[in-house]
Every structure is written in structure tokens, then in C-alpha cells.
Structure 1
């Protein structure tokens, strides 16, 4: 008797061909397909597009036998701008029997600034396979790249006299060789993927050779320098920072007054020269954080506010500097990092194209809360969106990109999965983004990017792919004008908190005009501190069959659950019941499982 034929099939979507699409663009989905024991002549591929819970389109593709290896699926994006979609592909045999499925996501946005997804690059050796690293970053839908320490010197990003017509290699302050051809390949490959290339540089710093000539004499820029104001407990004399050993003697950063008009004219011209020569799309400005009151070299205030108040804090100079920088850059983009989120209010109310902040646990928010907890990060993302409403092109506010060094002192081989995924969950649920991925499949854990040697495990890589798929597919529920609400939430027999207390399930409700949204973040066996210096955070214990009571005065017609942790990011419909008690009207529903983060959205 002949043995029954058994088909074995593995199907995987390798993301999409670009990080971002304009309405009406053609999407190509590269796939990998391995099949054995199949005697059919064709396979059927059904491609479904979902916006939140709503099916948008369905397309069918027939593969002939000679097309089974590495097939590609193509379709045209819908015309609605600034919209995220989940893409599901179902593989069927000749008779229509389902053999395999997989999902990915696409972002249909004519500009990157509404939903920024930042990544980084920091390796510019001539041997680098630039296109391969860009392709790897594309799988995470990265649409903006910070080119860290690509430049020659902070005050002279491109060596003197160099233009697009006479580019050659150069060294940075640490003596690292920067290949201009590698940079050019990165920028060209990024452009092919609809990623923007942002040239990193400090907004207010120069190295030793800027302030002393070849004979050791002071140069005119010394008159632009910052000095610690008398009585500042953080220092005396000129404000400087030692970076490290430098073959050229440029191992120190000396800081200048951002409001000095001569400095602004100088650095804006230098940045534009570099951006034009190499084809960068914009400037990613950086700072070193807040170090108390400063004066100019003449002992005078750094400037004055519109009402005549003297400015001594550097963070109070940011808005004016950024607005002048944006004007000088013209059509080029501007992003900015107020380190420690100090001066974030100024950045939020400036004309920068996107918002970005690097967090440290010892810095404090405007209300005094230290940035050492998940809740503090979430609140700053919320405040940034609120601050920036009037400065955003669509009036709903800008989405803050969160940079935070999770495993900053770890000596482990790999990043800690739980620490990374919990911080991502909080950042995305609050309406923000993350700067953590770069140099291909690397993940940032230290402030000097070239020192970043801790990798993601295979398991974490897979989880991060799903996390970023989720953030794109549901971007219109995550960071498209949603605002926090104070609806009461109860979960039977489970400790909960509304502010992310340690060892609880964090219940975080939000809403917009169409949905009420409940984020559940699992801190049941972890504390509420995001810094995991040694990489010791625990994988959350999966919570099952959570019976949720959500109080609401809105009329709820349907309830959906979506998560990056299961079901390939697909939305599941949940049955619900309505009731009233002494606390008001409510609905109840059961969440089948919670690992890191679940999003329940109610229509």
C-alpha cells in the first residue's frame, strides 16, 4: 500500500521592500518558502490588508511550480495617507486548503515625521557592507537614521575645503577612519528604502583645535565659549568635557553659547556644507545635558527672554537656537536631543521636525519626578505630544522618540529580553517611539555608540520584529492624537495600578474620537525601574484569562485585542457584557493571555 503523501511547508514574510510608502505606491513583499512532499502544480497566495480590525483589501496570487522558491508578492497601497496596515498572507494548496500564514506591516505615509522610527549607524570602515546593514534595518521599518560620529570634528563636520566634487576619506576625533564611499553607499541605500539620513552633531561644541591655533594661541571662537557662572556647584572656568585620547589632540569638547550669533552663523554654514556635499537629509542635533548656570566668555548672561529676563541655563536657549537652525536648513530636516529631557519643553515648542530625548535616571521632569521609572518616561511622552500640538503639521502633537540605555553596565553576551521589551511596550503604548536599533541587527546599550558590543539573542530579534510590526500596523491607535483618560479598571484577583507600580498589571486607558483603548503592561514579577544595568530583569509570567471590568460612559459596540506577543499581531474579537454598579457603567470581557503588553481597543 502506498504511503500517504505528507506536505511540509515553511513560509516566512521577510518584511517589505521599503520602510515607508506614499499613497498609491507599489509594495513588494519578499518571501521565503520551503516545501517538500507537495505534488501540486500551483500554490495560491491570499494577501489580506487590515487597518486595525477592518479588512481593507484581498488579493490572490497563483504561483507556478517554478515560482515556489523565494516568491514575491506585490500590491498597490491604498490612497489614505498616514495610515498603518497589517498584512497577512495565507498560503493554500490547489484545493484551497490552508498550509501556512505569516504577517508583516506597512506604513503608508508621505512623510516620516508623523511616525518616526529612528535607527542609528556608527561604523564607516571601507569594508562595511552598507546595503546589507540598511536591508536589515528595513525589516524593523526604520525610516530615519542617526549617523553617529560620522564627522571629522564637531566644529568642522566635513574637513576644510572638501565638497561633493572632491570627497576623500577622513578621520574623526578618536582617529577612526571614515570612508566617504561607505557613507555615500549608506545614504543611497537608505534613500532606496524611503529612510531619511540625519547627520549627527552637537549644536554647541568644538574640539581643541578650534580654540587654539598651531602655536597654541587662543582663537576668536574663544569669545563664544561657555563658562560656569560664579557659584555654580558643578564647576569653574570654561565648560568642557573630556572625550578620550585623540591622535590629533582633539580629545576635549569645549562648549559655546548657543545664542551667540557668530557661532550660529558659523555652525549653520558648516552643517549645510556637509549635508549638501554628502546628500544627508537633515541635521540631528545633540547636547550633553544640563550643568547649571553658565555665562558667556564676557561673564554676561547667555541672552535674554522676550520680557528681558536674563538667561543663564543652556536649556533655556534651545527654542531660539532650533528655530534659527531650522530656518537656516531650509527644506532639510531638523531633529534634536535635549539630553536628560532637560529643556524638552523648549524643543517641544520649537520648529524641529520631530521630537527626541535621551533619558537618564538621575534627571527629573518638570514636575520633579525622577526619570527612573517607566511611569516617568510615559508621562514625558504624553507631555511632549501635548506641548507640541500647535507645532505639529496636523495639530495632534508630535511623537517623542525615547532613547534610554537599558543594560548600560551589562557584561552579558546578549541584551536582557525582558528589560528591552518592557521599555518598548511602555514607549509605544504611551505614543512614543524608540531609538535602540542600528548597525544592522545591533541594539544600543551605551552612550558612545562604537562601544556597543552587546547583541540581541535570536529570540529577542524575533520579538523585536513583531514589536515593530505591531507599532506600524497600529500606529493610528498608538500615536495619532490619542490622549490618556482616568477610567477605572479592575481585574479579578489581580493586583493592578494606574501608574505602573512594581509587581502589578499596569492598566493604562486612552481614547480618541472613535475608540477607547486599554493598554495592559505586565509588571507582575518586575519592578517599575527601566534601568537594568546588569541585565537581570525577569521574563514576565504569562497571565491567563484575565477578567477585566472597564468603566465607561461611552456606548461600546465591539471589543478587540491585539498584541505583539501572540497571534502574529492580528486583532481578535472579544465578547463583552455591559453592566452598572455603584461606580457607574462598565463593560466586562476576558483577556485570554498577557505576556508583556496587550492593547484592547473598544469601538
Structure 2
């Protein structure tokens, strides 16, 4: 056995590619060593490495235990020597040096059988002396059940068949580890989402609810691209929306809820959510979703969708609290009954109808009906947040903490729209990167994920609205923030508030957001105490929507002295910008130094 040999790479026939040979014994034909390139021939000088590498990505958004993860990156040099290091929380799982040649670098890693496991993988360019010149990171999410840690994106435009353009959109969502995709307003009518005809074949073209051209092949291509990346494709549609208040489409007088007592046909009294015309085809009329006659008709319409298109499930939207309503030729149903009984039994009946093979999620708008939905067999939790209920950063945090208390087995998605009410007249319609960062920080620290990305970033509840653009800085930053959220899901998902952490130099709040000091959000279980430190020290505003798009991150601090008022065998920290875990040395009193608090620093102690 030749353990140490300088011939590590085999040239192919045209001499343009090198293949790694890790053990001479595997060469069964014992070729002439002149066919090999010496390692000394591989130039990895710092000048070349100054070009770094780019486009680090994985082939899927989420993996099952024992899957093979394929990493790709673009090399901006002829030959590279790359150190690959894997972390699971604070544990370094080991490193290996891999050589790459040409522009496209591929590396594969088979994860073990652990479920609900998240990893951070570091790729470092090395120079000829083995010194790290540049590093980049990416997270890996392993979970056989995506609802345990749901990260949702959206799609909203289906008029242009452009496979390359569509792939770029899905590739960016994949880079954010998005494992659920909501197909917003893909349908024609809420109560007849898809016309399939006698042969159960959908039309090739239609106009959507807002009269926008929609193509079947665009939707089919997105479904294909998402499934290739293990993303769940969720067909969006209202729980109880009808396109008419007349006796048609299978509806009759008893099918609707009414604004006042009604015992004879009176379409004008049907409860309605008015919409602007001619933009939308119709107003939304409210079906009596309590009725055992109405629900099977709704479910049957959605079963036709699932028969025709391979959606993974139904993302059920609602319109929030619309007050007391009346059942035809019967009595009133108040707001609480509609939510606590109506939502509960609708979801229960939907699950019984569709079975476990379809994913179900419900938007409990501003938490209306949230408890009823959370009590049922949904695959994830979801609640659209509005500034009339949660206006400040702390309002948002406390709402998230409250909602997460319902379930331990599935995660929470928060749709929340940045700069929603800003008047952009004569201004640059661009998201304020600092404002987006801070809103995401609070949502992540609360243990939820933010629905914000699709073909564009959301700023309105009408998802196709794309009048605000993203800076390149924000486009580049989001993957780092999502990597951090995924890699440290273990620490961020703990939800038992404690009060051990204290900063010695600066003041910090304790489990609430205070814009006059640093915010520390702390949770503990029997093994770990984790603290999310968000830099809100002198923040110039307190509304999470950043209504004026002028939020500015406070100045960072360095070498902050801190301690836990509890004993830990080890203390670690990581940041979004430098996510690899570092251990912090403790003195005899438990004091330690946090190197940097720039935007978001995670500190955790291990017992």
C-alpha cells in the first residue's frame, strides 16, 4: 500500500481535467504514472484565490435522513484547493480537503439517519501553503416532515412560459431553504378553481381572479421544478369564497351567510367582501362554511384540482373577523362561533376528506381562529400579521411566542409585509435593507419563519404586487440570514423563557424588544440556554413594518463582556455574518467576551 504519493490527480484524454485519486490501491490496472499530474503542478496562489468562489448552493431545499447532498459552487480560478468543514450546532463533524478544476465545483455528502437535523457546511479556499483565503457557508436542513420547520415562499405570476427564468426564481427560493411554496391566485374562481371538463383535463389558458392571463404549462413547470427540490407545492384558495351570490355553480340560498336575518331569497343581503372593479372579476361572497351541505361541494372542487395537477396540498386562506352573520332561515352566528367552531370543523372535515396524503395549512388572519386551527391536523401554522394588532417589534415578538405555545410538533410561518403603507411618490421604490433585516431578526428570534420571498419580495397582501425592488445587498444578504436560521434551528426553536443572561458593559432587555438598549431573547431546555441578541440599541423607530423605510441598524459593539447567572460547561456564539460556532472562554466567575454584536448574535450555553 502506498500511503503517501505525490500523484493525486489523473488527467483525462484531452488533458483538460484532473480526477482525484485518494488511494493508489484502487487503480487496478496500475497505469504508467506519467498519466498523472503531480500535486505540485496544481497552482493555488493567493493572487488566483483573490477571485474567491461564488454561487454556493445545494441541489435541494430540504433532505430526508440518509440522503446525499450535492453542493455546487463556481470557481473563479483555474484550480482550487477547498477545505470542507461540517458543523452540527457547536460540534465540528470534521474537515476534508477537496481539489477542484475548472469553473464548476461539485461536492457530495451523505447525511446520516438523524431526523430533524440541521447542519452548517463551510467551504474555504486554501492557498498553496494551506492558509484560508476566503470562506463561504451554507446550511443543510434534514427533515422527513417539512412542517416541523416550515419555510414558505410564494409564486404569483403564471403568464409567461420561460423555463430558464422560472428556474432562476426557484433556485433562489431553494437557496433560502424554502420547503413550502404557496401558488397564490393561480385559479380562475375561488369556488371553481379549475375547469376540467368531462375528460378531467384543464384548459391550457385562462384568466385568473384578477383577469390576468394564466398558462397551465407555467404552473406545471413550477410544480416540476419545486418537486425536484423537495419543495411542497401548495395550491392557494379561500376557505369559503364564492364568485356569485346567485343560484348557480351548485349554490342556493342556503349556501351563503347573510348580513341580517334572511328567510326568503335575497342575494343583496349575502355577506360579501367587496373588491375593486374592473381589476377583479367579482366580489367574494361568503359561503356558509359551517354547513355540512356546503363543505363537501368545496372539497369536491379542490379534489378536481388535485386530480388534474400534482399539488401537494391546499393552503387555505381566510378573510379574518367579519363579525356576526346569519344562516339562511335560521339564527345568527357570532364571530367567536365562526372561528372557534367553524374553522375547527372545517379543517377537521377537510382532513377527513383528503386524508393524510395532502398537506393542509390555514391562514388565521391576525390570529383570528388561530387556536381552533392549531387544535386540528394541519401540517404547519400560519398567521398573517397586521399593524392594527401587532405594530411594534415587541408586539410582533410576543404574538409569535403566544402562537408557538399551541404546538410542539409543527412550526409557524409569519406573513408580514414591509413598508406596506409607505407613500413612494417621487422616491426610490426599494426595500430598506436594514428594516428587512430587523423584522426578520425578530421573527427568527421568536422561533418562526417569515413568508416574504417569491418572484419578488412581498410588500402587500396582494402577492402579485411587485412595485418595490430589492437592492443587490439585500438579495445577497437573505441567504446568509436563512442559513443562520436553519443551521441554528435547534437553539432558536426552544420556547421556555428564562433569565440567566446579562451584558456587563451595555444594557439589555430580557425577553422583550426595547429600542433603547440591546434586545436579549432567551430560552432554555434541560441541555441548552440560547440567547438571541439583536442590536436595537438606540434604534430609530419601533414599527416592524418600517413604514417610512428609514430604519437604520445601530452601530455595532465589539468585545462585549457578558455572563450567565447559571453554570455552563461551555459557551458558544455565532453571527449571521460569521456563522461558524466559536467557543467563548469563561473566567472563574463565568464571565466571557462576545467578539461582536453587529446585527444578530446568538450565544448559547451547554450544561
How does the TM-score come out when normalised to structure 1?
Answer: 0.86
Decide which moves more: 176-185 or 483-492.
483-492
CA shift, 1:33, in A, is 1.2
* Aligned alpha-carbon RMSD (Å): 2.4
Which residue pairs with 1:211 in the alignment?
246
Which residue pairs with 1:104 in the alignment?
138
Which residue pairs with 1:408 in the alignment?
420
From 274, 277, 302, the counterpart of 1:242: 274
Equivalent positions of 1:464-483 (< 5 A) are 464-479=478-493, 481-483=494-496
Which residue pairs with 1:432 in the alignment?
448
SS in 1 for 2:553: coil
SS in 2 for 1:360: coil
Distance 2:506 2:591 in 1: 14
Which residue pairs with 2:515 in the alignment?
502
From 366, 376, 379, the counterpart of 2:395: 376
Which residue pairs with 1:446 in the alignment?
460
Aligned positions, number = 547
SS in 2 for 1:268: helix
Equivalent positions of 1:518-533 (< 5 A) are 518-526=531-539, 527-533=541-547
CA shift, 1:409, in A, is 2.5
**Distance change >3 Å, CA 373–CA 578, structure 1 → 2:** farther
CA shift, 1:314, in A, is 3.9
**Distance change >3 Å, CA 202–CA 89, structure 1 → 2:** same
Distance 2:158 2:304 in 1: 20
Which residue pairs with 1:142 in the alignment?
178
CA contact (8 A) 1:282 1:333 kept: yes
CA contact (8 A) 2:510 2:522 kept: no
SS in 2 for 1:71: strand
**Distance change >3 Å, CA 342–CA 163, structure 1 → 2:** farther
SS in 2 for 1:450: coil
Q: Is 1:23 matched with 2:42?
A: no
CA contact (8 A) 2:501 2:562 kept: no
Q: Is 1:256 matched with 2:287?
A: yes
CA contact (8 A) 1:518 1:601 kept: yes
From 361, 372, 388, the counterpart of 1:346: 372
CA contact (8 A) 1:163 1:277 kept: no
Distance 1:289 1:212 in 2: 26
Distance 1:164 1:575 in 2: 66
CA shift, 1:225, in A, is 1.5
Equivalent positions of 1:260-299 (< 5 A) are 260-299=291-330
CA shift, 1:557, in A, is 0.8
CA shift, 1:578, in A, is 4.7
CA contact (8 A) 1:259 1:302 kept: no
CA contact (8 A) 2:46 2:127 kept: no
Distance 1:540 1:256 in 2: 49
Distance 2:398 2:341 in 1: 21
CA contact (8 A) 2:179 2:230 kept: yes
CA shift, 1:302, in A, is 4.2
Q: Is 1:535 matched with 2:569?
A: no
Equivalent positions of 1:142-221 (< 5 A) are 142-159=178-195, 161=197, 165-208=201-244, 211=246, 213=248, 220-221=251-252
Distance 1:121 1:5 in 2: 42
CA shift, 1:426, in A, is 1.0
Distance 2:99 2:515 in 1: 52
From 64, 71, 87, the counterpart of 1:50: 87
**Distance change >3 Å, CA 471–CA 162, structure 1 → 2:** farther
SS in 1 for 2:104: coil
CA contact (8 A) 1:577 1:588 kept: yes
CA contact (8 A) 2:499 2:510 kept: no
CA shift, 1:237, in A, is 4.0
CA contact (8 A) 1:302 1:312 kept: yes
Equivalent positions of 1:124-139 (< 5 A) are 124-128=158-162, 129-139=165-175
CA shift, 1:211, in A, is 2.7
Which residue pairs with 2:119 in the alignment?
85
From 591, 594, 597, the counterpart of 1:591: 594
Which residue pairs with 2:581 in the alignment?
571
SS in 2 for 1:443: coil
SS in 2 for 1:56: strand
Equivalent positions of 1:220-239 (< 5 A) are 220-228=251-259, 237-239=269-271
Equivalent positions of 1:354-369 (< 5 A) are 354-363=380-389
CA shift, 1:462, in A, is 1.7
Which residue pairs with 2:476 in the alignment?
462
Decide which moves more: 337-346 or 486-495.
486-495
Q: Which portions of structure 1, spanning 4 or more consecutive aligned residues, are displaced by more than 6 angstroms? A: none
**Distance change >3 Å, CA 163–CA 26, structure 1 → 2:** farther
CA shift, 1:133, in A, is 1.4
In terms of Rg, which structure is larger? 2
**Distance change >3 Å, CA 540–CA 316, structure 1 → 2:** farther
CA contact (8 A) 2:439 2:545 kept: no
Which residue pairs with 1:549 in the alignment?
563
Distance 1:5 1:50 in 2: 26
Which residue pairs with 2:436 in the alignment?
420
Distance 2:126 2:183 in 1: 43
CA deviation string 1:267-293 (max 9, x = no partner): 111111102211100000001111222
**Distance change >3 Å, CA 220–CA 86, structure 1 → 2:** closer
